[in-house]
Amino acid sequence: MTPSPAPASAPRTGALLGTSDKAAGRRKRFRIAAIMSSLNLSLFVVAMNQTLLASATPTITSDFDSAGGYVWIGGANLLATAASGPLWAKASDIWGRKSIIMLALLGFSAGTIVCALSVNMQMLIAGRVLQGVAGAGVMGQMTIVISDIFSMRERALFIATFEVVWAIAAALGPTLGGVFTEKLSWRYCFWLSLPFCGIATVILFVFLDVHNPRTSMRDGLKAVDWLGSLTLVGMVLMVLLGLDFGGVIFPWESPKVVCLIVFGVVFAMFFYFSEKRWAQYPVIPLAIFESMSNLASFLVCFFQGFVYMGAEYFLPLYFQAVKGMSPLRAGTLLVPSTVSEATAGIVASIFIHRTGRYLDLVWVGTILMTVGTGLYIQLGVDSSIAAIVGFQIIAGLGCGCLFTPPVIALQANVSQENTATASAAMGLSRNIATAMSVVIAGVVFQNGMTLRANDLESAGLAPALINQLAGDDAAANVLKVGNIADLLQQRAVRQAYSWSIRNLWIMFTCAAFLAVIASAFVKTHVLSHDHTETKTGIQKKGIGKEEPLEAPV
């Protein structure tokens, strides 16, 4: 059911081509295949650029003699990605999808060249920031273009191809990065991206036929929500930097950390008032948060990202610290989790395409995620490999079911013109969740190891070793556990790690259960095959209260 036109009230960016436009159906299969190939190739480049560096970073920091660079090679990229995502979405509403995604690919190529030619760590980090900003545009525009071209019923199937690409990149990246670093040079980890960027840009230029508003640069710049953009970037950067610095580089009570977080909150308040009262074309229209179903979808996405990242980050720590595995074997044992997540994501997307139902997947996913994460609480020093793999599969299936359905639930409940900004806002919530997950869990883990210091002392460990294993550097000194000659002392240390990590699983299980509660407020809508494509650009018509595109059940 298509909603009646909203009454005019304020200018907007983005409108509709027609209530039953089936442009996607008029596209030939070859054109659709070319568009999807170029989008997946673009994603593959961005994803590989992240996974390749997993094994190359230690060599890079050694070449530049910069221990601090170890954190910032990845951290600078993630911060830039999180802060800039919604800005790209609004820019594409003003100037059109095609020009923005091509600009993002060119920017990513420029950042790649800077990284490949770097002569010091500062230059490399600058290149990584540019890659992060441009990469946010590439990744964000892919989902937006899919939403522009395909109906609600069809888009989940095409989004599933992105999950396949991520899985391939996650599997190939670390291995290829190690080969390049060992046999050639770590710089090839960057040079590899350039040909693929060029191919993807050419294919998109030729075949991507979404609406082109031909907005002039002058009119577009006038339409940009500058105050909203600046306050959003300031809010995200300050909060995430405060969380990253706290307890790692500076104490939590440090004035630097406190000021970053406090000013981040202040920027958040300015952002709210800017979007609510002053912005003519808001970066993130606050109307999308007025629906309880939309808020619930955001919460499900947030808690899924929180739990998902926690498992990805701390399961390897459990494998090495508690089970005494090598880094290589620990990485291998994480495969069941990765494979089950990818499989569940693909199956979920196919299910949505075939049936038009997504709420069932939200319920099943949150329950499986809660049960699987809760089972991690049982893991200990003597847990079997079969139990570890089984628990990963259950939790992985739950997390995998929740990659696409919350996005579909949100898109089905907002107008087509706000699909881009709503999707970008959900991506921002996931990025913030993953950053908070690692930081908060790290604090809980460190506190747990500190509480077990007396037990380590009772086991007879030397004070110097206790300070290394029970302090803030507990996660960094995992390899020292295997060097303890006394087996009873070694077991005491492994039990301390196991107990501290168990506290994390309790926290993550609680977060997963909150996702279950939030899922009860997500509404379902009929996902039809009819589609309304977005007409980008600066429109003079007004926009009324947010209405769903699809008929509620």
- Every domain of the chain and the residues it spans: 28-210, 225-280, 284-525
pLDDT computed for residue 95 by the predictor: 85
Question: In this structure, which amino acid lies at residue 227?
Answer: L
Please, are residues 136 and 84 in contact by the beta-carbon 8 Å criterion?
yes
β-pair partners for 539? 12
* The dihedral sign for the CA sequence 271, 274, 276, 281: negative
| Cα–Cα distance, 551 to 525 (Å, whole number) | 5
Please, are residues 92 and 420 in contact by the beta-carbon 8 Å criterion?
yes
Please, are residues 124 and 64 in contact by the beta-carbon 8 Å criterion?
yes
pLDDT digits (tens, 9 = 90+) for 351-363: 988 888 899 999 9
pTM reported for the whole predicted model: 0.79
Please, are residues 252 and 246 in contact by the beta-carbon 8 Å criterion?
yes
R_g of the chain computed on alpha carbons: 24
pLDDT computed for residue 190 by the predictor: 86
- The arrangement of secondary structure in 284-525, i.e. its CATH architecture, is Up-down Bundle (1.20)
Q: Is the per-residue pLDDT at 8 higher than 50?
A: no
pLDDT digits (tens, 9 = 90+) for 266-290: 998 988 888 888 877 788 888 888 8
Please, are residues 437 and 425 in contact by the beta-carbon 8 Å criterion?
no
Token pair listed for 199: 């191919």
> What 8-state DSSP symbol labels residue 109?
H
Q: Is the per-residue pLDDT at 22 higher than 60?
A: no
Please, are residues 32 and 148 in contact by the beta-carbon 8 Å criterion?
no
Phi/psi at 16 (nearest 5 deg)?
A: -120, 145
| Cα–Cα distance, 531 to 148 (Å, whole number) | 9
From 185, 179, 173, select the one nearest 62 (Cα to Cα).
185
pLDDT computed for residue 54 by the predictor: 64
| Cα–Cα distance, 158 to 24 (Å, whole number) | 13
β-pair partners for 534? 16
Are 28-210 and 284-525 the same fold in CATH?
yes
Buried b / exposed e across 168-201, counting CB within 10 Å, b at 16+?
Answer: bbbeebbebbbebbeeeebbbbbbbbeebbeebb
Phi-psi region of 18 (alpha: psi -120 to 50; beta: other; left: phi over 0): left
Superfamily of domain 28-210: MFS general substrate transporter like domains (1.20.1250.20)
Q: Is the per-residue pLDDT at 541 higher than 70?
A: no
Q: Is the per-residue pLDDT at 14 higher than 60?
A: no
Q: What's CA 498's distance to the chain center, in Å?
A: 28
From 450, 436, 434, 439, select the one nearest 497 (Cα to Cα).
450
Half-sphere exposure of 282 (CA within 13 A, CB side): 23
Q: Is the per-residue pLDDT at 26 higher than 80?
A: no
